[in-house]
Amino acid sequence: MKKTEYPAIGETLYTAVLPNGLPVYVVTKPGYRRSFAVYAANYGGADRRFTLAGEQKDTPAGVAHYLEHKMFDTPDGDALMKLSATGANPNAFTSEAMTAYHFECTGHFEENLRTLLSFVSVPYFTQASVDKEQGIIAQEIRMYEDAPDFVVYTNLMKCLFEHSPLRDSVAGTVESIREITPQVLYDCHKVFYHPSNMALCVVGDVDPEAVERIAREILTPEEAEIPGRDYGPAESAEPLERLCEARMEVSEPVFIIGGKLGAMAAGEEALRERITAGLALRCLCGRSSPFYLKNYDKGLLNATFGSDVDYAAGQGVVCFEGETSADPHDVFDALCAEIGRVSAEGFDPALFDRQKKASLGGRIRALGNFRSLAIGIVEGCFAGFQPLEAFRLMEEITCDDAAAWVREKLVPERLALSVIYPKEA
């Protein structure tokens, strides 16, 4: 395996690409008892239409999430129980962009890694088990639909996008999952769960060569065609609608202000954009920003307020969210005014320097979070960059870069507002 040292942060990364196309990453942590492993597919809720061997395929909303639920079933029983029996803590998740299966353990690491790679690689579905899961997932979907945070976000996506699958929930709808059959699950597993479309990352005091050897032993040696993704026609920079309002059982209005950031960058430029966006948002509306402090004192914002950027389905999205005892439209107007001010005047260099140091400190602390580190590495793999390079790139990003990101990406006329108001008495 190739060894790369990062002396500035005290990390060592081992990498390899197997003959079947699987990228393998190992971050060694000498002296630690616990280890974390994640085996992830470059396949999420947004990957519903794809092309393989020149043929276009369409699948119902929710297949990736449904597949995640069913992959723990094996002819020998529940893989979750098998991992738990060794003291491991296993789990999985599906996002718009990826599906990941992972475990953390303090012993039996190689045994657990073999189990992980085996059950994710070999699907086992029956009509009875798929039918049973349909009821479980339908109940989960109904729970989401009763959650204000879920509804306010979904409504925002419908405001922003006209065609993108980001308009729809990762779990699908009660109606769409009725179309999912064992054959649909087998077909999607064959296309997206091949090692050529996956990544393996391990963090811990483990032998990198042993990780590579086990992956070679368990997984198919053959490469496969990578499916082409189709996320629909190109979206305009403008939102489809600028406002969506609803009422639910909440004590105070819940809001999200969001906008499209345009097409995702690729490779190291994608990492640079993420770092720049993070620094810009810290300066624009972070807890120590003038905007946050002023509007906290005025009662427009409270401790629930936050901001983030996300990238999936070829798109970037920025969100500003929270609860307020005031009118969410006033928060929207205040944020737009601050964006206009920063676009004209830029950021205070002293503020930028403080936020840059705080961001650097946060990234260094995050190296001790094995889960975050491993999942970040596989996300970076799928986007074509190495997250550990962030420490080098951060030094190159300037105050002017952060202000330019606000000026170019956060055009007030391109923002939309989604609000959940309390139900009227």
- CA distance linking residue 360 with residue 8, whole number of Å: 12
Residue type, 190: K
Residue of 336, 260, 351 lying closest to 295 (CA atoms):
336
Residue type, 220: T
Residue type, 27: V
Tokens 């998740």 belong to 93
What is the token pair recorded at 238? 């403008």
Which residues belong to the active site? 68
What is the token pair recorded at 412? 């007030």
DSSP codes, 216-257: HHHS-----PPPEE---SPPPSS-S-SEEEEEES-SS-EEEE
- CA distance linking residue 112 with residue 81, whole number of Å: 11
Query: Which sign, positive or negative, has the C-alpha torsion 280, 237, 62, 255?
Result: positive
8 A C-beta contact, residue 334 and residue 295: yes
- CA distance linking residue 323 with residue 85, whole number of Å: 42
- CA distance linking residue 362 with residue 22, whole number of Å: 30
8 A C-beta contact, residue 43 and residue 197: yes
8 A C-beta contact, residue 246 and residue 301: no
